[in-house]
Amino acid sequence: MAAGATSRGAKVPDRPSLGWSDLEGARVGLFGLRMEGAANLRRLRRMGVVPVVVDDRPASPVFGGLRVLSGDAGLDALTTCEVVVKSPGISRHGPQVAALVDAGAAVAGGLGLWLQDADRGRVACVTGTKGKSTTVALAGHLLGGLGRRCLVAGNIGLPPWDPDAGDDWDFWIVETSSFQATDVASSPPVVAVTSLAPDHLDWHGSVEAYYADKLSLCSQPGAALTVADASSEPLRAHAQLLGPSVRWVEEGDPDLDGTWVDALGLPGRSYHRDALVARACLVGLGVGEASDDARLAAAAEGFTPLEHRLRPIGTVAGVEFVDDSLSTNVLPAVAALEALGDRPVALLVGGQDRGIDYRLLAEALASRRAETFVATLPVAGARIGEAVRAAAEQGEAEVKAEVVDFGDLTDATLAAFAWARARGGASADGGVVLLSPAAPSFGQFRDYRQRADAFAAAMRRCADAVRLDGG
């Protein structure tokens, strides 16, 4: 695919090589007011810049003391700006950005602006379809254990350019989405890619455009080393997009692997690989102690897994409930099933349908040796269920996945609990109710946190029912 082109046939607007410092004295527009948009406004106000503020769905007509425009009036106002700082959710491939560029505005993103000014030798950006949040958290924890001041930033925390984040840090480890990657014109020397699978097709336009956008972070000016998961076949197939030098990471690597990983106390091979990628990032940043297994093992102690990422939240009548609400794609759901081994699993899946292919998840379910109950939820659940049923019919496994469709999370959880309770008590092989939706929450829930709260509430209803029954 030619540089600057997309599968839709339109030219992708150029990424301006601008830093936040270049915006002083300019007429600036702020497009989008979610978490990153709020950080953008704080940064601009700290600089003394009063922007034009636009949001397509404003929660209030006033934000930060400024009037919020929307619709055609908002877009018209933005076309009068020299620079427009957009939120990541606004597609660089979309007609709004194209209209702004045609009007002469430079369209930038907060991360790209920050990287242009930052001491990038102390920055690592971590991207990937799955595993980036955990890898960033692991890298930050290890750096802290090694006596370094590290800001774990991006989607997992405050944007690094937010004035509330401060700047007194030795290192910045930044979780970077495919949306943000399209706004980056200068990469840090170290970039990690934890995995690759189709996602966000509505934003990017096609699988190949998504891959190209996400991996573009590896080859912008300044890029030197890409740390990549060797087990990812799509990453291997797109190695030409990984920049000037690639450090492939795999289990058993004598320079990265070892008993130090045990100190993290994390289940499953996916977590193991994330830990190795995190270590490779530290080595790439020149942290000498990261090459010392004993020092790293000591630094690894006390790591707390992310909320809503494969975390047990309780046990009811011998059935363990596991919250993996952060799972918004096929890969984390497959990893969660792998981490639970041969235990009977009642899996809750479904959510916003982004049009991705669910065959990989279906194959993982059909090939499980243990019994599996698949409770599907709207809207994507219908397609997941179809894929699972088809894979089960074609598979060779003796135990097939049972699929039942539900209209809401509470009913699905109650049925999943009843199924799992019938499959065993609190033994190592006891039943599990796993919320790992393989889809975003939008539509039924505000975000993955609200979805997790609903799951926890449903678990409490299961406990109440057990008490009423005297069980």
- The pLDDT tens digits of the residues spanning 82-105 come to 999 999 989 999 999 999 999 999
| 273-280 average pLDDT score | 96
What region does 443 belong to: left with phi over 0, alpha with psi -120 to 50, or beta?
Answer: left
Percentage of residues of the chain with pLDDT beyond 70:
94
Q: For the chain, give every domain's residue range.
A: 20-112, 118-300, 311-469
429 falls in which pLDDT band (50, 70, 90)?
A: low
Strand partners of residue 350 = 377
| 71-92 average pLDDT score | 95
The angle, 0 to 180 degrees and rounded to 10, between the axes of the packed helices 132-145 and 293-300 is: 110
pLDDT by residue (tens digit) across 281-301?
A: 999 999 999 999 999 999 999
Go through the chain and tell me how many residues it has. 471
| 145-169 average pLDDT score | 92
> Into which CATH architecture does domain 311-469 fall?
Alpha-Beta Complex (3.90)
> Into which CATH architecture does domain 20-112 fall?
3-Layer(aba) Sandwich (3.40)
| 142-169 average pLDDT score | 93
Residue 427 predicted with pLDDT over 60: no
307 falls in which pLDDT band (50, 70, 90)?
A: confident
CATH of domain 118-300: 3.40.1190.10
| 417-444 average pLDDT score | 83
Entry pTM: 0.85
| 136-143 average pLDDT score | 97
Pairwise CA distance, residues 336 & 334, whole Å: 5
| 352-375 average pLDDT score | 89
Of 275, 321, 320, 317, the C-alpha closest to 299 is: 275
